[in-house]
């Protein structure tokens, strides 16, 4: 799951997927603004067939993975 989420995030932010880890901060390090995060979440929702509401908690890539796991269960 991490690899695919990393690809989606890299695609939207224009960064290299290899440089993205679970600890990477989406906002400060990847410079994703609110619209980038909306689109990342939309792509993840479509990819994993989940509905994600709690975007405020997202800081790191690990937070995104955690939210997807929580919403999948």
Partner 1 sequence: MIFSKITATGAYVPDMVITNDDMSKIVDTNDEWITSRSGIKRRHFSNGENTSDIAARTAEKIIQNSGIEPLDIDIIIVASVSSDYTTPSTACIVQSKIGAKNAVAFDIGAACSGFIFGLSVADKYIKTGVYKNAIVIGAEVLSKYLDFGDRGTCVLFGDGAGGVLIEATDEKTGILAEELGSDGDKGMALTGGFSPASNAFNKFNSNADRNLRMDGRAIFDFATRSVPKSVKKLLDDCNFNYEEVDFVIPHQANKRIVEIISRKLKIPMNKFYMNMDEYGNTSSASIPIALNEMVEKGIIKKGDVGVITGFGAGLTWGSMLVKI
38: contact with partner 1 by CB under 8 A: yes
Please say which residue, 5 or 40, places its beta carbon nearer to partner 1: 40
Query: Which two three-digit tokens encode residue 47?
Result: 């990819």
User: Shortest distance, CB of residue 56 to partner 1, whole angstroms?
Assistant: 11
2-10, 15-23, 32-40, 57-65 -> range binding partner 1 (CB under 8 A): 32-40
Which residues are catalytic, by number? 33
């Amino acid at each position: 799951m991490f690899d695919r989420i990393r690809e989606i995030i890299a695609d939207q932010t224009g960064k290299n997927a290899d440089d993205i880890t679970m600890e990477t901060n989406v906002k400060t390090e990847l410079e994703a603004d609110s619209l980038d995060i909306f689109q990342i979440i939309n792509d993840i929702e479509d990819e994993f067939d989940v509905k994600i509401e709690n975007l405020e908690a997202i800081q790191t890539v690990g937070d995104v993975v955690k939210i997807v796991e929580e919403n999948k269960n």
